Amino acid sequence: MRRTVRLLSHVNMAAPRALARWGFCDRGWSRLMPGCRLPGFRSCWPGCPLGARLLSQEKRATETHFGFETVSEEEKGGKVYQVFESVAKKYDVMNDMMSLGIHRIWKDLLLWKMRPFPGTQLLDVAGGTGDIAFRFLNYVQAQYRGKQKRQLRAQQNLSWEEIAQKYQNEEDSLGGSHVMVCDINKEMLKIGKQKASAQGYKAGLAWVLGDAEELPFDEDKFDVYTIAFGIRNVTHIDRALQEAHRVLKPGGRFLCLEFSQVNNPLVSRLYDLYSFQVIPVLGEIIAGDWKSYQYLVESIRQFPPQEEFKEMIEDAGFQKVTYESLTSGIVAIHSGFKL
């Protein structure tokens, strides 16, 4: 008995290398030979095939893609940050050049699909330069102005001063609507704030530095969550989708505008030719940055196609998930609800 206790004590206190040499067989503890398997267990020593597979899987789990390059998950965040820090100042110009201006139509369609109403609380993630935010404010203001005009026509007894006051009240012109622009990149936010100031956007707009995978907001806070051309740059897309679900109010809507899979073979060939042969060259000429635009082109090809991304959105808890492909599938708008 003492001998058994001493042996067990030796096994428990031994270094991992010594522990790996012992196993419990039918009649007690005995030394194991390489490749020996324990009854009821699969071999899991590092030197055995399964151990190698587990280590390989663990390695793959910490790796991701940066365009066509394989990098660690920690490394990708820094690389993506550097890309957008580099392109921030020429971001809007390059969007026009790369898409021949069509990105403006895509973003307009996103707003038309959203159909926000006065009082809507919007969170626009990865929206640093403000394109979606400004469209949202314009749309809501137009809706509210239309409603206000109808009400004024119905009230014939208002004085000129009362009518003028209603039109001059900037806060009222949004009907309580508000958009929060959240971006992880300081330079992108800086450009967005400069644009807002130059174009006269003040009321109903706020800017916050934040990570899509760990949003700095409480649960059930927003009516609508949008992310346009940003989610493909996130390291863990599933986490970003879960965060979107968390911060939306019950009944809230998720909307994502992102490059997707072209469904026309001829368009696909032309699109690939333009993407790889022209866009990086434009990046070098206009922004002095070939590599960043090479990454942006490659990142589009790594993003899941429409149906697969739809399933990812559903896995995050959204319901009634649909998508609409635009321009032969070059981009798609995905929609889902928190119910």
Percent of the chain scoring above 70 in pLDDT = 71
pLDDT tens-digit series, residues 241-251 = 999 999 999 99
CA distances 278 to 99, 142, 159, 273, Å, are 11, 38, 60, 7
pLDDT at 84: 65
Burial (CB count within 10 angstroms: exposed 0-12, middle 13-18, buried 19+), residue 180: buried
Of all residues in the chain, what percent are helix, strand and coil, respectively (each to 5)? 55, 20, 25
Q: Is pLDDT of 116 > 80? A: yes
Burial (CB count within 10 angstroms: exposed 0-12, middle 13-18, buried 19+), residue 289: middle
Contacts of 240 (CB under 8 A, 6+ apart): 125, 212, 213, 227, 231, 234
pLDDT tens-digit series, residues 284-306 = 888 787 887 888 888 889 899 99
pLDDT tens-digit series, residues 50-82 = 444 443 444 445 877 555 556 577 666 666 666
Burial (CB count within 10 angstroms: exposed 0-12, middle 13-18, buried 19+), residue 130: buried
pLDDT at 67: 58
CA distances 13 to 1, 4, 9, 28, Å, are 18, 14, 6, 18
Q: What is the Cα–Cα distance from 166 to 83, expressed in whole angstroms?
A: 45
Q: Is pLDDT of 220 > 90? A: yes
pLDDT tens-digit series, residues 26-36 = 334 444 444 44
Least confident stretch, 170-179, 212-221, 278-287: 170-179
Percent of the chain scoring above 90 in pLDDT = 49
pLDDT tens-digit series, residues 161-181 = 766 666 665 556 788 899 999
Beta-sheet pairing, 22-25 with 63-66: unpaired
Q: What is the Cα–Cα distance from 258 to 234, expressed in whole angstroms?
A: 12
Confidence of residue 91 (pLDDT cuts 50, 70, 90): confident
pLDDT at 83: 65
